[in-house]
Amino acid sequence: MQNTSTATVPITSDAVRARLTDCGDAVFCDVALTAAFGGKLTAAFIDGMVSSQIVNDFILKPLSEKRVFAQAFNERELLDLAMNGEVYHGQRKMCGDLETAMEQLLSGALVLIFDGEQAAIAYDSKGYEKRSVSEPTNENVLKGSKESFGEAMRVNTSLVRRRIQTDALKMRTITLGRRTHTSITLVYLDGVANPDTVTRVEERLGSLDVDGIVSTGQIELQLQETRRTIFPLVLYTERVDKFCGNILEGRIGIITDGLPVAYITPNDLHSFLQAPEDYSHNKIISTALRILRYFCSFASLILPAFYVSITTFHQEMIPTKLAVSIIASKQGVPFPTYMEVLLMLLAFEVLLEAGTRLPQSIGQAVSIVGALVVGQAAITANMLSPGVVIVIAAAGITGFVIPSQDFSNTVRLCRIALVLLSTLGGLFMTSIGLIFLLYHMCTLDNFGTPYLSPFVASEGRQMFNDTIVRRSWLMLDERPENIRPADKKRKG
């Protein structure tokens, strides 16, 4: 933990230099004064984090050339002139103690130190290199905006401001991390988002006591009220249009400085199976695609376990011709069916992980070679039966339909667990596993929003209000009831 005793230390150039010992990027510039009493000021900044043009033209140049500074009789008068607008810079802050000055300095400000008054003025002069606004890399855009979030906080907030141009859009900034001092902004619509939820989200983030924020998982875990679950409760996105759409519904967004993704809460199951393009297509097409996603999610979860169950315990369920075909394809295969399925699932996960970690061009080649060459060779060598390969391939492809990568990962893990249960008791144990998953999802709650709402907890009243069935824009009069918005009406 940092030493907080420096909060009462007065500001002097020597004190700042002592705090920045062995910091090669710290720059101290003595500003000679033309005032009648003589003397000098010290300007301190971090090289690479400030704009040279702002520092030279709008801060140091006026101090050296403006006649009003030459007429100052003492350093107090000089401090008042610099603070009250004679320096060409609008964003300035008076620093009354050393700790405040250091925070401003390390965040990208130029600190002008008045040794005689033991005070300093921090001028916001950020000018570090940042990535320009680009297309989303992990979320494909079919019919919509191609702008994505970057690492710079103010660039991200400006992208949101440009789309929601109302003074009701509030942005609360808090600082987390005892050493990193990472800025986090809560974004919500005043009068639309539930104020209790806003307060609870802010309190949970404020209670995070860590040295620094360096990964998305730290923020994500802090936003989960139920932590003993593998199901995602916080939705993340790098798409600005998706983020703004959720803000307009009454949800709360979290933007973290240094991370190119934003978080959205509270969420339900439907949030992870919904895509922004649903609102760009015809309502009938969008409804069909949503039904397809629900069906594919369930198929990806249950197919391998169902195949193991019927081929091992419930052969009477298989039509005769199909049973004969399966038996013929298994001739010469040395492994039982459940072992084949588990090996294929493991191989599938290895291929996915390899494709993710390798460079994009090589990753695609690995996926093709693994799926076609190795799979066909395993069948030819009687290591695996064709039926198992088809089932695992179908389960994998249907899993790719899920828009949320976090939810897709959960389905993949549950799929393996169900296969293990099916080897113990067939469809009976598989059904027990599905019942447990359903019960677990019924117990999940995030900031007052039940995970399976609106299918449960509201008697299904909102089931056809933009969930599985996408209603026409003309009929979308109400915001989702399960997130308890302050203003339930979208219109009027």
pLDDT in tens, 442-453: 999 888 888 988
Report whether pLDDT(361) > 70. Answer: no
Q: Is the dihedral of CA 374, 379, 383, 384 positive or negative?
A: positive
Is residue 291 a part of any domain in this protein?
Answer: yes
Residue 370 — pLDDT band, cuts 50, 70, 90? low
Report whether pLDDT(3) > 50. Answer: no
> What does the longest C-alpha to C-alpha distance in the chain come to?
106
Do 191 and 99 belong together in one domain? Answer: no
Please state, as a whole number, how many other Cβ atoms lie within 10 Å of the Cβ of residue 442. 14
**Model confidence pLDDT, tens digit, residues 116-139:** 888 999 998 888 777 788 888 888
pLDDT for the residue 364: 65
Query: Exposed/middle/buried for 116, CB within 10 Å: 0-12, 13-18, 19+?
Result: middle
pLDDT for the residue 380: 79
Please state, as a whole number, how many other Cβ atoms lie within 10 Å of the Cβ of residue 337. 22
Is residue 403 a part of any domain in this protein?
Answer: yes
When divided into structural domains, the chain yields a total of 3
Is residue 468 a part of any domain in this protein?
Answer: no
Do 80 and 114 belong together in one domain? Answer: yes
Cβ atoms of 299 and 394 within 8 Å: the answer is yes
Strand partners, 185: 173, 255
Do 252 and 297 belong together in one domain? Answer: no
Range of the domain at 425: 281-449
Residue 368 — pLDDT band, cuts 50, 70, 90? low
Residue 242 — pLDDT band, cuts 50, 70, 90? very high
Do 389 and 295 belong together in one domain? Answer: yes
Please state, as a whole number, how many other Cβ atoms lie within 10 Å of the Cβ of residue 178. 13
Do 254 and 286 belong together in one domain? Answer: no
**Model confidence pLDDT, tens digit, residues 189-214:** 999 999 999 999 999 998 888 888 88
Which of 202-216, 313-327, 345-359, 410-424 reaches the highest mean pLDDT?
410-424
Q: What is the mean pLDDT of the chain?
A: 85
pLDDT for the residue 262: 93
Which of 34-43, 206-215, 278-287 has the least mean pLDDT?
34-43
Do 258 and 299 belong together in one domain? Answer: no
Is residue 455 a part of any domain in this protein?
Answer: no
Is residue 274 a part of any domain in this protein?
Answer: no
Do 92 and 170 belong together in one domain? Answer: no
Closest CA to 110 of 91, 125, 132: 125
pLDDT for the residue 2: 41
pLDDT for the residue 152: 87
- The Cα 74–Cα 269 span in angstroms is 66
pLDDT for the residue 5: 41
Instruction: Choose the final residue of a domain: 124, 141, 172.
Output: 124
pLDDT for the residue 34: 63
Is residue 219 a part of any domain in this protein?
Answer: yes
pLDDT for the residue 86: 80
Do 285 and 211 belong together in one domain? Answer: no
**Model confidence pLDDT, tens digit, residues 417-464:** 999 999 999 999 999 999 999 999 999 988 888 898 877 765 556 667
Is residue 136 a part of any domain in this protein?
Answer: no
Do 185 and 291 belong together in one domain? Answer: no
Is residue 90 a part of any domain in this protein?
Answer: yes
pTM of the model: 0.83
SS3 annotation, 417-463? HHHHHHHHHHHHHHHHHHHHHHHHHHHCEECCEECCCCCCCCCCCCC
- Give me the percent of the chain exceeding a pLDDT of 70: 93
Report whether pLDDT(250) > 80. Answer: yes
Do 18 and 43 belong together in one domain? Answer: yes
pLDDT for the residue 490: 79
Instruction: Choose the final residue of a domain: 240, 265, 290.
Output: 265
pLDDT for the residue 371: 66
Report whether pLDDT(7) > 60. Answer: no
pLDDT for the residue 276: 85
Do 241 and 326 belong together in one domain? Answer: no
Report whether pLDDT(467) > 70. Answer: yes
Do 109 and 191 belong together in one domain? Answer: no
pLDDT for the residue 475: 76
